[in-house]
Amino acid sequence: MAQETKIAWTDHTFNPWIGCQEMDDECDGCYARVLNSRWKWNGGTWGPHAPRTRTSEGYWRQPIHWAKWAVARGESSRVFSASLADIFDNQAPEDARDDLFDLIRKTPALDWLLLTKRPENISKMLPADWGDGYDNVWLGVSAGAQKWYDHRWSILRKIPAKIRFISYEPALGPLKIAGHWGQYPDWIICGGESGSKARYMEPQWAYDLRDQCQRLDVAFFMKQMTGGEKVPIPDDLLVREFPEGRRRLAD
């Protein structure tokens, strides 16, 4: 839960609460469940009947400091929320999601990346003033296989947002984004699974997706091969693009 993170595509991670439920086969190797079991954040419990435990007030103040640092630096910082939960979980602690959006409104110097496996909940859980989307919020869905891309992107593409993205990780099969409704995400993160029981990502899946993104003008970010940081990314696949540069902040 620390402010620093090894996740290459973000500067910070922020968990308004801890706890989630596995949704599909992408979750079989869930690192959040493993970490929770190790550190006993939820008493070691996980899943539909486990608590969703709100993090401390001191922890909630950290993004305010990150925002001040970003302003001092003159450019925005990215915050992934949440790595140990799902923002659009219908079992979220009472008022926690509203409090998160209030924190997001108070930190315009931070770009908040909200990633979910529950896109069907997004529209009914967004704040009343969402409009065409907050300038500092990117909405994303996890899609490690074609069936989940087809289902989740078909929902996300209709939700107003400044940036929409796909987390294709863990990559469990080839992914084709061309030809689906003629509308594409702004950004795709590609990554193989890590851990002792990691399922293998064929490198060709990543190459093919990189080429699709280049052809369709979609930003492509190669996060990792199967095995995570222990396995080097081939030089010709080491593409780490963002949908736009960091926002320059006013003096």
- Give the range of the structural domain holding residue 40, as residue numbers without chain letter: 12-237
Q: pLDDT for 97-135, tens place per residue?
A: 999 999 999 999 999 999 999 999 999 999 999 999 999
- Would you say the pTM of this structure is higher than 0.85? yes
> With pLDDT > 70 as the criterion, what percentage of the chain qualifies?
87
Residue 4 belongs to a domain: no
Q: Comparing 39-48, 107-116, 122-131, 213-222, which segment has the lowest mean pLDDT? A: 39-48
Secondary structure of the chain as H, E, C letters? CCCCCCCCCCCEECCCEECCCCCCHHHHHCHHHHHHHHHCCCCCCCCCCCCCEECCHHHHCHHHHHHHHHHHHCECEEEEECCCCCCCCCCCCCCHHHHHHHHHHHCCCEEEEEEECCHHHHHHHCCCCCCCCCCCEEEEEECCCHHHHHHHHHHHCCCCCCEEEEEECCCCCCCCCCCCCCCCCCEEEEECCCCCCCCCCCHHHHHHHHHHHHHHCCEEEEEEECCECCCCCCHHHCCECCCCCCCECCC
Q: Into how many domains does the chain fold?
A: 1
Residue 194 belongs to a domain: yes
Q: Comparing 29-38, 120-129, 145-154, 183-192, which segment has the lowest mean pLDDT? A: 29-38
Residue 82 belongs to a domain: yes
Residue 1 belongs to a domain: no
Residue 246 belongs to a domain: no
Q: Comparing 77-81, 92-96, 135-139, 153-157, which segment has the lowest mean pLDDT? A: 92-96
Residue 178 belongs to a domain: yes
What CATH number has the domain bearing residue 134? Answer: 3.20.20
User: 172 falls in which pLDDT band (50, 70, 90)?
Assistant: very high
Residue 244 belongs to a domain: no
* pLDDT higher at 181 or 203: 203
Residue 3 belongs to a domain: no
